[in-house]
Amino acid sequence: MSSKTDVVVVGAGPAGAIAALVLARAGVRVRVFDRARFPRFKLCGDSVNPGARAVLIRLGLGSATDGALPVDGMIVTSETGTRCVGVYGGGHQGHMISRHRFDDVLLAAARAAGACIEEGVLVPGAIVDDGRVKGVEVAVNNRRCSQHASVVIAADGTSSRLARATGVATHATRPRRWAVGAYFEHVGGCATSRRFGEMHLRAGRYIGIAPLPGGVTNACVVTGDRAALRDPERLLVETLRTDRGLEDRFADARMIMRPVCLGPLAVDARASGMPGLLLAGDAAGFIDPMTGDGLRFAMRGAELAAFAALGVLEHGHDDAHVRLAAARRREFWTKWRFNRAVRSLAGSPLAMNVASHAANWAPGWLERTIQYAGDVPTAP
């Protein structure tokens, strides 16, 4: 590859784009590789929660959600018919915007900051010498070459080739869940439903509904039923049109794209990297998108990875991956515990019933839970 590079970032999604942006603004020579060409579709809940929005504003990227649909909170329902509405409050809102547009805007910002972006490039593995990553192998137009760098940041998603090839991360044995999603038009519902994200908890699965600008709706089913995944379109459509809480709304809905299947979703990262390699985004660990905070984790985690990379370049830190792991624990540990508790709750019908009654008796409890799940910034 041409030109000297300090840091290689693999993956140009939100995590990769933010890491590249932070580094380029610091004067680092950074090169980003992604096998896709942007804009591209990405299966996601399309939710920028208040915490993720705060990260964007702090980085001067508030315009990244221009044209997005503002939402006031979350609607959560159980299989027994309980429906709970929780608002973020305090004037805070989330934003619904397709990843097709959002990712492209962030990548353009990284490019404008000085990062070199190379699309349509596959990175099949890392260059490892004496236990240290010193660059990556690059494949483009059936030709392979090497790109050396002082630091490599793997932000290439739940199926990260770099994290798996180096043994740093792997798909978890449990929970084993897959997501199937698509965009729909003509989804019914009152005006209020267009102001909230939705999570519908059902036995063995859950359904996420996200309103988007232009009357489009993102609908996604997350399930551990591998047999049903043999026909993703049938799984998605039958789930939406036979669910007691959703069948009326999706009776006349029209799917405007082929369903996309992603999974298994859970990623176990035994470390935050190794010498010369740092993990960011879903490559650094992921369970599933139930709590809607994936983009905040990805973007803030990317900042932390960029700071760790700067420590290598400026101070010669050999333990940058250890420092990154400690920074991630400080930043995310309490939220990780909260998310695990929510997932356990969702998997227990009895616990869901108790929580539903608690929300009815003490609505403030639900509101605080929704605020925490949405990473609503607290007053200083």
**pLDDT average, residue stretch 63-90:** 88
The CA distance from 86 to 328, in Å, is 28
> Could you report the per-residue pLDDT of 107-126, keeping only the tens digit for each?
999 999 999 999 999 999 99
CA distances from 375 to 54, 65, 94 (A): 9, 17, 10
Lowest mean pLDDT across 69-83, 105-119, 265-279, 331-345: 331-345
Domain count within the chain: 2
The whole-chain average pLDDT of the chain stands at: 88
Classify residue 378: in a domain, yes or no.
no
Residue 127 exposed, middle or buried by CB count within 10 Å (0-12, 13-18, 19+): middle
Q: Are residues 108 and 27 in the same domain?
A: yes
Looking at the structure, do residues 255 and 182 belong to the same domain, yes or no? yes
Query: Given this model, what pLDDT does residue 86 score?
Result: 84
Nearest-Å Rg of the Cα atoms of the chain is 21
Give the C-alpha separation, 217 to 214, whole Å. 9
Tell me, yes or no, whether 159 lies in a domain: yes
Q: Specify the amino acid at residue 316.
A: G
Does residue 295 register a pLDDT over 60? Answer: yes
DSSP string, 72-88: -EEEEE-TTS-EEEEE-
Pick 270 or 260 by higher pLDDT.
260
Dig out the tokens for 90 from the structure.
């305090």
Q: 227 in the Ramachandran plot: left (φ > 0), alpha (ψ -120 to 50) or beta?
A: alpha
- Ramachandran assignment for 10, one of left (phi > 0), alpha (psi -120 to 50 degrees), beta (any other): beta
Residue 244's CATH number: 3.30.9.10
Please name the residues in contact with 255: beta carbons below 8 A apart, sequence gap of 6 or more: 182, 183, 184, 233, 236, 237
- Domain assignment present for residue 37? The answer is yes
Please tell me whether the peptide bond between 380 and the residue prior to it is cis, using omega within 30 degrees of 0. no
Residue 250 located in a structural domain: yes
308 within domain boundaries: yes
Residues 252 and 288 in one domain: no
Are 205 and 167 found together in one domain? Answer: no
Q: What's the pLDDT band for 380 if we cut at 50, 70, 90?
A: low
- Looking at the domain assignment, is residue 148 inside a domain? yes
Same domain membership, residue 312 and residue 260: no
Burial class (CB in 10 A: 0-12, 13-18, 19+), 30: buried
Beta bridge partners of 198: 75, 209
Cα–Cα separations (whole angstroms), residue 151 to 40, 142, 166, 212, 241? 27, 25, 14, 38, 49
- The mean pLDDT value for 264-283 works out to 89
Would residue 131 count as lying in a domain?
A: yes
Residues 19 and 77 in one domain: no
CATH (domain of 118):
3.50.50.60
- Contact in structure between 152 and 272 (CB atoms under 8 Å): no
21 contact partners, CB below 8 Å, separation of at least 6: 59, 61, 106, 109, 110, 113, 115
Q: Are residues 289 and 300 in the same domain?
A: yes
Residues 221 and 241 placed together within one structural domain of the fold: yes
What is the pLDDT confidence band of residue 169, given thresholds at 50, 70 and 90?
confident
Q: Is residue 58 part of a domain?
A: no
pLDDT digits 0-9 by tens, 30-51 = 999 999 999 988 888 899 999 9
* Gap between the terminal Cα atoms of the chain: 47
**Same domain, yes or no: 143 and 203:** no
Do 87 and 119 fall into the same domain? no
Say if residue 99's pLDDT is above 60. yes
Residue-number span of the structural domain to which 285 is assigned: 7-49+98-173+266-345
Confidence of residue 60 (pLDDT cuts 50, 70, 90): very high
Tokens of 319: 């333990």
What does the CA dihedral 345, 348, 354, 360 come to, rounded to 10 degrees?
60
Report the half-sphere exposure of 107 (CA within 13 A, side-chain side).
25
- Could you give the 3-state DSSP secondary structure of residue 9? strand
Phi, psi of 299 (to 5 degrees): -75, -45
Which residue in this structure is represented by tokens 């990175």? 123
Q: In the numeric block, which tokens belong to residue 245?
A: 């809480």
Same domain, 207 and 299: no
Say yes or no to pLDDT of 268 above 90: no
Residues 43 and 130 in one domain: yes
By C-alpha distance, which of 277, 263, 267, 264 is closest to 166? Answer: 277
Q: How far apart are CA 297 and CA 15, in angstroms?
A: 9
Q: DSSP 3-state assignment of 247?
A: helix
